[in-house]
Chain A
């Protein structure tokens, strides 16, 4: 038997992805395109929010969408029907997007001059939180039917996001969702997060979201 020896490795497994993500951020910063990564569980309202956002910003912001929904091409088609450049990524059943996959989406849309590029990430509150996509802003949706205890189960997602959109507030009167308790949990994980209550159905709160986003895009564009 040969002797067993020990080789030091000391490598971060995420290092490659972080490097690609930093490259994406820099490249889009130079092009003055703000990249926004939208995350949530399946069915929380990502596609609905994107359609609302298109409606609210179409006249003032040049917008594109990278779709990563694993099910079908339906989402990208819904967005493209609004006259917005959209690309459907084939994520092949992956549970998240990494920065290399995002790069493919950016390349596919490179012919367009965009102010804002929105990624609809794969529906899941766990994996997307662990992989940097290269986005300048991370936004998540929690919908009322999912319950106010989600920050307890998925703390990482809540701690990495710049904005939390609480969607489907039209259901509030029908549920025991405790908004104050949810806010307290989220703010203690992430004191800097901005929380906006919305309904993609009734349009409530959408104005606040659009105002926040418009301001961020304008600031980004000015450099």
Chain B
């Protein structure tokens, strides 16, 4: 639901890096977003197209890689992947306990960008 503020943050970071690196045009931006995030890829791109008009990033394509939700067991340290829908019903495949911490799945990360 909060595509707009997230997109603004992405654009700010991209413009900062573009200026630092004498970029003429940003072609693509590669992002990593956790599966737990509710963002719709399509809306991020649309907001981005709108906000980036007249900037060095106008027309850039956003490539969004979705990272899985990974938990780590607090008892035996096994790491395992879960889906949103079964997060609260999945036990550790190592020891069967149900006490874990999340180690990925929430991230909003800009990896790199393709530029000219």
| A-chain residues with CB within 8 Å of residue B17 when the two chains form the complex | 7, 9
- Asked if A96 meets B115 with Cβ closer than 8 Å, knowing A9-B13, A189-B87, the reply is no
B106 at the interface (CB under 8 A from A): yes
| A-chain residues with CB within 8 Å of residue B38 when the two chains form the complex | 126-127, 130
Interface size bucket, A side? 35 or more
| A-chain residues with CB within 8 Å of residue B113 when the two chains form the complex | 6-7, 9
Whether the Cβ atoms of B5 and A155 lie closer than 8 Å is no
Look across to chain B and name the residue whose beta carbon is closest to the beta carbon of A151.
B88
- Chain B, residues 1-21, CB within 8 Å of chain A (1/0): the string is 110011001100110010001
Q: How many residues of B contact A (CB 8 A)?
A: 36
The distance in angstroms between the C-alpha atoms of A131 and B23, with both chains bound, is 31
| A-chain residues with CB within 8 Å of residue B85 when the two chains form the complex | 152
Whether the Cβ atoms of A155 and B114 lie closer than 8 Å is no
- Asked if A9 meets B111 with Cβ closer than 8 Å, knowing A96-B2, A127-B1, A191-B99, the reply is yes
Which of A10-18, A53-61, A208-216 participates in binding chain B? A10-18
The distance in angstroms between the C-alpha atoms of A130 and B107, with both chains bound, is 10
Which B positions have Cβ atoms within 8 angstroms of A? 1-2, 5-6, 9-10, 13-14, 17, 21, 23-24, 27, 36-38, 84-89, 98-99, 102, 106-116
